[in-house]
């Protein structure tokens, strides 16, 4: 495996073999394994860190790290958002504190903020229509394969090569754009979006 390979990964809970954490890596397996380093465990007090301490003390984590999807650096953030949203919509109890993407990179939350985020997400469910859209968007793509970027269009008819491109050009959160696309919110920053259907025939 290349050291700079980009992918979305999941960490399974040893006792249940179910994915409980989703992350992105632009450094191959270096990033996933950092979660289990003693120096990180000593300084982190997040829900994820406490979960790791509880279940992985004295346990080799490597068999429980799974690659969900290989992707490009240009769309790795939006794919992390997709996977976190997909698993949560299916009822998976993730220990992630954010919805992924740039909002979760290098950002540390206080205990009070983490508690507010946790309270705000309790009982939060996607509609059947949103779940159907999220599921349909991933049909036919085997786990571990590279997924192409999908172009999007806003309500004004302006097109973008990907969610990331739209976010950069409009200075909007790619996480919120993704939520517009999967149906969990109607608009963001005054914009609404939909995927451009490509005719492969």
In a domain, 19, yes or no: yes
Instruction: Provide the residue range defining the domain that includes 135.
Output: 7-143
pLDDT of residue 9: 96
In a domain, 1, yes or no: no
| Residues 104 and 185 both lie in one domain | no
pLDDT of residue 160: 92
82 or 121, higher pLDDT = 82
CATH number, position 124: 3.40.1440.10
pLDDT of residue 132: 55
Average per-residue pLDDT for the chain: 78
User: What one-character DSSP code corresponds to residue 103?
Assistant: G
| Residues 156 and 138 both lie in one domain | no
State yes or no: pLDDT of 189 exceeds 50: yes
Whether pTM > 0.75 for this model: the answer is no
Per-residue model confidence as pLDDT tens digits over 61-91: 999 999 999 998 888 988 999 999 999 988 8
- DSSP percent split of the chain into helix, strand, coil, nearest 5: 40, 15, 45
pLDDT of residue 147: 57
Give the integer Cα–Cα distance in Å for 106 and 22: 15
Average pLDDT over residues 21-36: 91
CB contact set of 68 (below 8 Å; sequence gap of 6+): 7, 8, 9, 10, 22, 83, 143, 144
Question: Which two tokens mark 131?
Answer: 């779940």
In a domain, 132, yes or no: yes
State yes or no: pLDDT of 123 exceeds 80: no
| Residues 196 and 173 both lie in one domain | yes
Average pLDDT over residues 48-70: 90
State yes or no: pLDDT of 111 exceeds 60: no
| Residues 122 and 172 both lie in one domain | no
- Boundary of a domain, candidates 101, 121, 143: 143
The count of C-alpha atoms lying within 13 angstroms of the C-alpha of 67, restricted to the half-sphere facing its C-beta, is 19
pLDDT of residue 99: 86
- Boundary of a domain, candidates 122, 143, 164: 143
Torsion of CA 68, 71, 76, 79, to 10 degrees: -50
| Residues 182 and 157 both lie in one domain | yes
CATH number, position 187: 1.10.10.10
10 Å CB burial of residue 179 (0-12, 13-18, 19+) is buried
pLDDT of residue 105: 42
pLDDT of residue 176: 83
The count of C-alpha atoms lying within 13 angstroms of the C-alpha of 111, restricted to the half-sphere facing its C-beta, is 3
State yes or no: pLDDT of 6 exceeds 50: yes
Per-residue model confidence as pLDDT tens digits over 133-182: 555 544 445 554 555 678 999 998 999 988 888 988 898 888 888 888 88
In a domain, 128, yes or no: yes
Per the structure, the count of domains in the chain is: 2
pLDDT of residue 122: 55
pLDDT of residue 80: 93
pLDDT of residue 108: 46
| Residues 123 and 182 both lie in one domain | no
């Amino acid at each position: 495996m290349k050291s700079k390979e980009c992918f979305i990964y999941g960490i399974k809970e040893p006792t249940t073999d179910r994915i409980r954490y989703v992350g992105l890596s632009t450094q191959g397996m270096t990033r996933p394994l950092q979660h289990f380093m003693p120096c990180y465990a000593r300084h982190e007090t997040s829900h994820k860190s406490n979960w790791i301490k509880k279940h992985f003390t004295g346990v080799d984590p490597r068999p429980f790290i799974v690659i969900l999807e290989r992707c490009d650096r240009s769309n790795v953030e939006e794919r992390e958002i997709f996977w976190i949203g997909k698993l949560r919509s299916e009822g998976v109890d993730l220990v992630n504190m954010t919805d992924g993407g740039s909002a979760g990179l290098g950002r540390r939350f206080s205990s009070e903020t983490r508690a507010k985020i946790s309270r705000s997400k309790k009982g939060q469910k996607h509609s059947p229509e949103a779940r159907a859209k999220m599921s349909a968007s991933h049909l036919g793509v085997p786990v571990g394969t590279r997924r192409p970027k999908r172009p999007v269009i806003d309500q004004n008819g302006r097109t973008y090569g990907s969610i990331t491109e739209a976010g950069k050009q409009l200075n909007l959160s790619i996480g919120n754009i993704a939520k517009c696309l999967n149906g969990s919110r109607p608009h963001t920053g005054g914009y609404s979006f939909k995927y451009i259907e490509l005719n492969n025939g």
